[in-house]
A and B are shown apart, each in its own frame.
Chain A
Amino acid sequence: MTAQTDYRLSQLDELEAESIHVFREVAAEFEKPVLMFSGGKDSICMMRLAEKAFYPAKIPFPVLQVDTGYDFAEVLETRDHWVDRLGVRLVVASVEKAIADGVVVDDGKTSRNRLQIGTLLNVLEQEGFTAAFGGGRRDEEKARAKERIYSHRDDFGQWDPKNQRPEVWSLYNGRIRQGEHMRVFPLSNWTELDIWHYIDREQIEIPSIYFAHRRRVFERDGMLLGESDNVTLKPGEAVTERTVRFRTVGDMTLTGCVESTASTTAEIIEEVAASRITERGATRGDDRFSEAAMEDRKREGYF
């Protein structure tokens, strides 16, 4: 950024400044913050913002990933690049291990996504993290639209939407009691399009599955899912090869892709700007089960 005579910030610069402020505030006030890294574009933008917030020092907290066992290889690869480049400590909490240890119960019906909740809460408690950054955005979903930037969690990691602390000006209240923690959402005011503009502007490395590629897919509940060892085809489901990309990344057994030829960030921006369907609605099986699906998971302690 160079000298600006009219003293105006672009909206992207203003969002960046706000997010950086949040990162610094948490680093200054919390004993043990951690950044929840899913490998998706939002959490990668968080990494970028954290990098900027503390530069030239290293990011003063570790990065936490909850490994569902069903993660895309491309996502794990990008994660490793970022962790190496920034020299941060990576904490991996594995859902498989949590199942083996009896922390969560795999009854064969519960999705990996849902089992992440117990796994996550367990690792937060075990490691004693007092603040956990999440990449949630308020434009994503109706319940999120009301969530604070600092979102207080009780002893059980639960969110109480009816009892949120007022959040005035940018004076964040970081008070927690023993056993409680804070979820912090530095990207609250960003939209999906803002994220893409930022990725484009900053030339941020994101997993290749966001870009158009050939993939063997099948249709389920109106979504396109990738073929993998972890999903068994139901009768009538047929695999075909198509040119697709992912709009969100998560548990590969639940995350759908869309047919697209967008192979650069600029092309993705065009596609997102013209898109008439929310990214979750299009591609997240976990949010479709009920009108209040996200709110329920959030209450329990989801990201």
Chain B
Amino acid sequence: MMHIKQEAEERHVLTITVDNEAGILAKIAGLFTARGYNIDSLTVADITENHAVSRITIVTHGPPSQIDQIHAQLERLVPVHKVVDLTEVGPHVARELALIKVAGLGEKRVEALRLADIFRAKAVDTTTESFIFELTGAPDKIDTFVQLMRDLGLVEVGRTGIVAMIRGPHEA
């Protein structure tokens, strides 16, 4: 009998600067599926005035040797300018935005609003029976908030996935 073995895994945040050309996202996402790497979250938007360059943030997990391969495989794609493994480089800020819709009346509605205040979530849509909260923060803060909302009439959640940046005055 044969069983599939598992290896110890690490979670890493990578930022990738790429030429903003057709198919680049498919290329990067496809690289992950083709080689069996994991994507926990992926965000992308162009970051230069002329829209020529995009920054992609990918959160991945895998054994250390695989993380190193991901880095190398990304780097060898022609449209990729730079890959930074923020988890390797050092302390960084990682933030995510979420929209959280909660519906309810009476006590539950009041409690939802109270918790939103504690988490500094902003109500960006309000009806007499619902809110949409906007919350930014580290992913686990959002996890916690969403968890609390489950008992208070959670309807749906939308999350952007994280963007991240190295701390301090310099570019990574």
Tell whether A and B belong to one assembly.
no
Residues of B within 8 A of A (CB): none
